[in-house]
Amino acid sequence: MSNGTSVKGGGTFCFGLLLLAFPLLLWLFLLVVLPHIDLFLVSMRERISYGKYEFSLINYIEFFSEPLYWNTYVRTAVMSIFATFLTLVIGFPVSYYIAKFMRGKGKNVLFLMCLIPFWVSELVRTFGWMILLRESGVVSNFLQWSGIADGPVEMLYNDATIMVGLVYTSMLFMIVPLVSVLDSLDDSLIEAGYDLGGNGFTVTRDIVIPHAMPGIASGCIVVFMLTLGNYLTPNLLGGKDSLWFTEQIYTQFITRFNWESGSAFGFLLLVLSSLIVWVGLKLSKQTLSETVG
C-alpha cells in the first residue's frame, strides 16, 4: 500500500484524497449511518397526534409485554441458529469432497455446479420447492404412486419445510468459504495425522476443523444473518403460521402503518443479528474484516 505522496505534492494529494473519499462518505453517512440512527430515534418516540411526537419507550414496552412479538423474536433466532448449524453439517462433507477428493477440471465443474443454482433468484428456488412439496405436487404424487401414502400429502406450511428452504437458500454462502479454506489445507498434514496413528475422526477433529475455523466462522455468520433477515422463504413455504420476525416488521410498516413500533422491531432485530455475529467472531477468534474481506 504505497501512497502517491512520492509523485505528488502534499497539497494536491490531500485534495485528491478528499475527492476520492467524497463518494464513500456520502454513501456511508447518508445511506448507512444516519438512517440507522434515525431508525433508533423513531423507535424511541410515541405518536401523540398528527405530526406530534414525544419521547417514549412505549414501543419497546409493547414488544416485551405482547407474547406474540416476543415469541416470534425468539423463535426466529432459534430457528436461524438451527438452520445455520444444519447448513454447516450438510455443507461441510460436500466442501471437503470438492476440496480434497476432486482434482483439476472435475473439481471446477463440481464447484460451479454448487454455485449456479444461487445465481437464480431466491423466488424461483422457493417456487421450485412449492411445486415439489404442495399437496398436488411432485413428491406427494410420487408417494401415492409408489404406495407409501394413500392420499395427497400436504408438505408445505410447516417448520420442517421452512428449514429445508432456508438451508437450501443459504448453502452457497457456506460452501464457498469452506471450499476455499479446505483447499489451503496441505494434504500432507492429513497424511501425517494418519501416519501418527490418527483415525478419520481424530484427524477431522484435530487437524481439519481447526484449520477450517476461519471458513466455518465466515460461512456461519453470513448464513445466520441471511436466514434471520429472510422474508421470502418463511413467508411462501411457511404460510400464515410461519411467524418470522421480518414479517412482523413488514406488518407494522406496511399493513398497520405504525412506523414507530416497526422501527423498534427493526432495531431489535439489528441488535440480535449484530450480537450473534459478534459472539460468533469472538468464539472463533476472527475479526469482521478477516471474515468478509
The footprint of other proteins on residues 69-128 (CB under 8 A) is 90, 93-94, 96-97, 100-101, 112-117, 119-128
DSSP string, 231-276: -HHHHHHHGGG---HHHHHHIIIIIS--HHHHHHHHHHHHHHHHHH
Helix, strand, or coil (residue 22): helix
The smaller minimum CB distance to other proteins, of residues 3 and 146, is found at: 3
Task: Give the C-alpha separation, 196 to 173, whole Å.
Answer: 34
> Nearest distance from residue 99's CB to other proteins, in Å?
10
Tell me the β-bridge partners of 52.
49
Residue 12: its H or E element: helix 10-27
Q: Tell me which stretch binds other proteins (CB under 8 A): 28-36, 59-67, 153-161, 209-217.
A: 28-36
What's the alpha-carbon Rg for the chain, to the nearest Å?
24
Q: Tell me which stretch binds other proteins (CB under 8 A): 37-45, 59-67, 153-161, 209-217.
A: 37-45
The smaller minimum CB distance to other proteins, of residues 82 and 231, is found at: 231
Tell the burial category of 128 from Cβ atoms under 10 Å away from its Cβ (0-12, 13-18, 19+): middle
* Helix pair angle (122-133, 159-183), 10° resolution: 130
Stretch 183-212 residues interacting with other proteins (CB under 8 A): 187, 190-191, 194, 200, 203-204
Stretch 165-184 residues interacting with other proteins (CB under 8 A): 168, 171
> Nearest distance from residue 274's CB to other proteins, in Å?
7
Among positions 24, 104, 146, 240, the unique one binding other proteins when judged by CB under 8 A? 24
Q: Are 227 and 237 in contact (CB under 8 A)?
A: no
Among positions 157, 180, 250, 284, the unique one binding other proteins when judged by CB under 8 A? 250
The smaller minimum CB distance to other proteins, of residues 121 and 184, is found at: 121
Q: How many residues bind other proteins, per CB under 8 A?
A: 92
Among positions 15, 21, 57, 160, the unique one binding other proteins when judged by CB under 8 A? 21
Q: Are 218 and 288 in contact (CB under 8 A)?
A: no
Q: Are 153 and 140 in contact (CB under 8 A)?
A: yes
> Nearest distance from residue 47's CB to other proteins, in Å?
13
Terminal Cα distance for the chain, rounded: 16
> Nearest distance from residue 213's CB to other proteins, in Å?
18
> Nearest distance from residue 242's CB to other proteins, in Å?
13
User: Per CB under 8 A, does 266 bind other proteins?
Assistant: yes
Helix, strand, or coil (residue 11): helix
Query: Which x/- pattern, by CB under 8 A, does the window 45-64 give for other proteins?
Result: --------------------
Give the contacts of 73 (CB within 8 A, at least 6 positions apart). Answer: 63, 245, 268, 269, 272
Hey, what's the cell of 129? 420447492
Q: Tell me which stretch binds other proteins (CB under 8 A): 54-62, 65-73, 81-89, 131-139.
A: 131-139
Among positions 220, 221, 223, 243, the unique one binding other proteins when judged by CB under 8 A? 221
The smaller minimum CB distance to other proteins, of residues 130 and 149, is found at: 130
